[in-house]
């Protein structure tokens, strides 16, 4: 199923995402209340500079955006943008198509 999803991602039009960028996007999309760079780094067990580079690229692609944290103006939160949510819908469809094809008919 994962192989099918990666093939679908490679075949789609648009820029390719690195696994790190995909991990950041998935983490943000699964918890769209906003994530800090520190929180993303802890969740993915990678350095804050690596998260910052991934968020920079995802921001350029308009898949995520940064916004000030209303509860702590020193902090910045990362949110999924509509194109990022559309990407997630596409990925879910790829995964569910493969899953449904592999289910035994009853």
Q: How far apart are CA 58 and CA 85, in angstroms?
A: 12
Q: Which pLDDT band, with edges at 50, 70 and 90, does 20 fall under?
A: very high
Give pLDDT tens digits for 38-85: 999 999 999 999 999 999 999 999 999 999 999 988 899 999 999 999
pTM exceeds cut of 0.85:
no
The architecture in CATH of the region 17-90 reads: Orthogonal Bundle (1.10)
- Is the pLDDT assigned to residue 102 strictly greater than 90? no
Q: Which helix (H) or strand (E) holds 99?
A: helix 82-102
Give the pLDDT confidence score for residue 96 in this predicted structure: 83
Burial of 84 (0-12, 13-18, 19+ CB in 10 A): buried
d(CA 3, CA 79): 27
Q: What was the pLDDT predicted at 93?
A: 87
Q: What is the DSSP string of 51-63?
A: HHHHHHHHHHTTS
- Please give the mean pLDDT across all residues of the chain: 88
Structure tokens at 78: 């990362």
Half-sphere exposure of 63 (CA within 13 A, CB side): 24
């Amino acid at each position: 199923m994962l192989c099918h999803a990666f093939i679908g991602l490679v075949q789609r039009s648009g820029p390719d995402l690195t696994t790190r960028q995909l991990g950041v996007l998935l983490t943000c999309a699964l918890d769209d209340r906003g994530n800090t760079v520190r929180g993303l780094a802890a969740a993915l067990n990678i350095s804050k500079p690596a998260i910052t580079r991934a968020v920079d690229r995802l921001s350029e692609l308009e898949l995520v955006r940064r916004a000030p944290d209303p509860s702590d103006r020193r902090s910045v939160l990362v949110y999924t943008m509509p194109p990022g949510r559309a990407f997630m819908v596409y990925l879910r469809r790829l995964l569910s198509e493969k899953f449904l094809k592999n289910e035994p008919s009853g």
